[in-house]
Chains A and B, each alone.
Chain A
Amino acid sequence: MLNCNEVTHLASDHLDKSLNWKESFSLRMHIAMCKHCKRFIHHLRLTRLCVHGMNNNLASPDDVKHVLDNLPDTNKP
């Protein structure tokens, strides 16, 4: 049986489905009974969803210009 500290360490592997059958089963058993660990995993999942929603930062115009300006002349678009 996993304790809470161990569950915390396995939480990301649980979200990424990287746990083996036995670990996965133990973890599910634990969170079915432990509201704190259940919350920990819920919050970790929310955190991951948040950063996925931040996938819209473009490079600065200066950086882009730097890359394009430094293409060798023969390759310049």
Chain B
Amino acid sequence: MMQDIPDLENLKKQDHQAFQRLVEKYNRQIVVVARAIIGDSLAEEVTQEAWVSVYRALPSFEGRSSIKTWIFTIVSNEAKTRLRKESRLVRINEMEEVIPAYLNGERFNNDGSWSSPPPLWDIESPEKILENEQLRQCIEKTIELLPDVQKSVFLLRDIEQQSLEEICNILDISNSNVRVLLHRARVRLMQIIDQYQETGQC
């Protein structure tokens, strides 16, 4: 079910209900973005600070970007400022996480041809896949368990439809890293769907 488009007119007036709906709609995503930049322990605190900033700045929101891009930028700035203050924190290098089997070479012969090609899917439409409650839960759980930065890239791109350039700015990582992390996340989900279609579980 599609959510309503944020009610800009009332948001700019700092209307309570409009603001509450905005928090309902974006709080999860904001925590994910904060966590990707500053780590788990401070993510909630930064999220709270970001919402205060959003609330204060709403009357001056000019609509030069979409409101969600604007909110993601605010939380990103809060998290980056905090990161500079907390010099003991080092950003985790997630390029070293486990690589999905499709991408680590194990499904290919030495000449680069498939040794273990993708299996056929019985359930072949997005609607049918999502109607399958068990499979839907598998997908949600897999997204939940993605490493922090990868999850954030994936969520911003494939769920929130932000551009690659916006994602680079929000998370302060290079275009090539964004693309690598995004691809790994998508392929990991695809493997879960493969597994479900082959075995009936995941």
B-contacting residues of A (Cβ < 8 Å)?
3-6, 8-9, 11-13, 16, 18, 36-37, 39-40, 43-44, 46-59, 63-64, 66-68, 70-72, 75, 77
Which one of A39, A53, A63, A66 contacts B127 once the chains associate, using CB atoms below 8 Å?
A53
Closest to A2 in B: B112
Contact B179 A36, beta carbon cutoff 8 Å: no
**Measured between C-beta atoms, what is the minimum distance from A58 to chain B in Å?**
5
Contact B24 A51, beta carbon cutoff 8 Å: no
Q: Contacts A44-B187, A46-B126, A51-B189 hold; do A67 and B27 have CB atoms under 8 A apart?
A: yes
Q: Contacts A11-B183, A36-B118, A43-B190 hold; do A52 and B158 have CB atoms under 8 A apart?
A: yes
Closest to A63 in B: B27
- Interface segment out of the listed B12-20, B71-79, B84-92: B12-20
The dominant DSSP class at the B interface is helix
Contact B121 A56, beta carbon cutoff 8 Å: no
Contact A49 B52, beta carbon cutoff 8 Å: no
Closest to A70 in B: B48
Contact B164 A16, beta carbon cutoff 8 Å: yes
Closest to B48 in A: A70
Contact B112 A3, beta carbon cutoff 8 Å: yes
Contact B108 A4, beta carbon cutoff 8 Å: yes
Q: Contacts A47-B190, A67-B48 hold; do A54 and B114 have CB atoms under 8 A apart?
A: no
User: Contact string, B21-59, partner A, CB cutoff 8 A, digits 1/0?
Assistant: 001111110000000000000000001100110011000
Q: Contacts A6-B112, A12-B186, A57-B28 hold; do A77 and B19 have CB atoms under 8 A apart?
A: yes
> Knowing that A54-B130, A58-B25 are A-B contacts, what are 12 other residue pairs whose CB atoms are under 8 Å apart, sorted by A's residue number?
A8-B102, A9-B103, A9-B183, A16-B182, A36-B117, A44-B186, A47-B190, A50-B130, A56-B1, A58-B3, A63-B28, A70-B48
